[in-house]
Amino acid sequence: MKTLLKSTAIALALSLSFGSVATAKTPEQPVKVSITKSVVQKIKTLDGLNLHLQKDIPNAKPKAVVVISHGLASHSGVFGDFAKTMNKNDIAVYRFDHRGHGKSDGRDSIHIGSYTNRTQNMLQYPYGILR
């Protein structure tokens, strides 16, 4: 009981010493809303699979392009909110699904030896994106 009381007192003291009151401020400039455009494209790999690519492009000329490569057991769709945030800041996002993931072909071609194919696909993406 004493330990719980001491821990609570310490937590309260720390929160009071570091805490501050949040106040809402009116933005000085109006919030910029950027309408985006999504373009879905299929890129054919050297071994004939179709890989899914989605380009999220802001209405204004992009200041930059971010290319997202998802992790293991994932897909490009999980980055939708991130893409919207980037687009609001005039940054384009290209997100793709690796072979066997998301909307890409190749579910039966994932094995340890397919790492070489994934590497070749990654090198091929810029060419497919620019076409």
Q: What is the pLDDT of residues 32-83, one digit of tens each?
A: 555 678 899 998 888 888 999 999 999 999 999 999 988 888 899 999 999 9
Domain of residue 105, residue span: 36-130
Amino acid identity of residue 121, one-letter, is N
Statement: residue 20 has pLDDT above 60:
no
Is residue 29 a part of any domain in this protein?
no
The mean predicted confidence, pLDDT, of the chain is: 74
Statement: residue 21 has pLDDT above 50:
no
Which band of pLDDT confidence, cut at 50, 70 and 90, is reported for residue 121?
A: low
Q: What is the CATH number of the domain that holds 122?
A: 3.40.50.1820
* pLDDT for the residue numbered 16: 47
Pick the more confident residue, 42 or 115: 42
Is residue 80 a part of any domain in this protein?
yes
Is residue 20 a part of any domain in this protein?
no
What phi and psi, each to the nearest 5 degrees, are found at residue 45?
Answer: -80, 170
Q: What is the three-class DSSP state of 82?
A: helix
Number of domains in the chain: 1
Is residue 15 a part of any domain in this protein?
no
Is residue 95 a part of any domain in this protein?
yes
Whole-number Å distance between alpha carbons of 83 and 27: 23
Amino acid identity of residue 22, one-letter, is A
* pLDDT for the residue numbered 61: 93
* pLDDT for the residue numbered 118: 62
Q: Could you tell me which of 82, 90, 79, 78 has the C-alpha nearest to residue 36? A: 90
